[in-house]
Amino acid sequence: MRISGGAARGVTLQVPKGDLTRPATDGMRQAVFSSLAARLPGARFADLFAGSGAYGLEAFSRGADGGVFVEKNPKAADCIRKNIMAVSKSAVRPESNLKLLVLDVLSWAPVPGEGPDLVFIDPPYEIIAEVGPVLFERMKDWWPSGDADPVIVFEMPGGVKLEPSGWTCVKRLGKGAHQPTVGFFRRSQINPVG
């Protein structure tokens, strides 16, 4: 698996051995970042259930200012640390713009008033029904300002449909009930444009 675009294009990402993680495919990441291109420059992100850190590192390579990776598995976190060093070096950008937190996603929230512009959520598929609604409910408090317009990028199987209160799925990439798809969610009170 490699970074597919931006300043660190071509950098190989380390992935934990075994079935510890299910990394986003290169093709899916390319489609996601084609959709997000205009929002990336200067953006702050949160990569939840980060695994290898592929979503956040791709965003960083393509111009995001920086962000946080949240991953509770120590082996996956070790891969993220190595990937952060490799991508930062290749992109000639400071590692200090990227922060790794080794903890459970449901125990993390951004500093009040500093909600990220982009949130990447790629949980194990078997826990989506349990954690998806909880995360969306918690995220309502991350942006107290009514004019904040974050984009939530949620990877899930095509057969899964999320309809969280207060959020609208404005776009969905991918096909097939058992194939990976990505939903783009925006706050319902924001007029979805682009």
Q: pLDDT per residue over 170-182, tens digit each?
A: 999 988 777 889 9
Q: Are residues 132 and 192 in the same domain?
A: yes
Domain boundary (43, 72, 107) is at: 107
Q: Taking the chain, what is the end-to-end CA distance rounded to the nearest angstrom? A: 29
pLDDT greater than 80 at residue 70: yes
pLDDT greater than 70 at residue 21: no
Q: What is the mean pLDDT of the chain?
A: 90
Nearest partner of 132 among 167, 164, 169, 100, judged by Cα: 164
| Chain Cα centroid distance, residue 23 | 12
pLDDT greater than 70 at residue 192: no
Q: Are residues 1 and 95 in the same domain?
A: yes
Residues 6+ apart with CB under 8 A from 33: 4, 5, 40, 58, 59, 62
pLDDT at 22: 59
Tens digit of each residue's pLDDT (9 = 90 or more) over 78-136: 999 999 999 999 999 999 999 999 999 999 999 888 899 999 999 998 999 999 999 99
40 assigned to some structural domain:
no
Residues 6+ apart with CB under 8 A from 73: 16, 20, 21
Question: Where are the strands (E) in 53-150, listed by range?
Answer: 66-70, 98-101, 118-121
Q: Are residues 1 and 88 in the same domain?
A: yes
pLDDT at 27: 76
**pLDDT tier for residue 193 given thresholds of 50, 70 and 90:** very low
Range of the domain at 123: 114-194
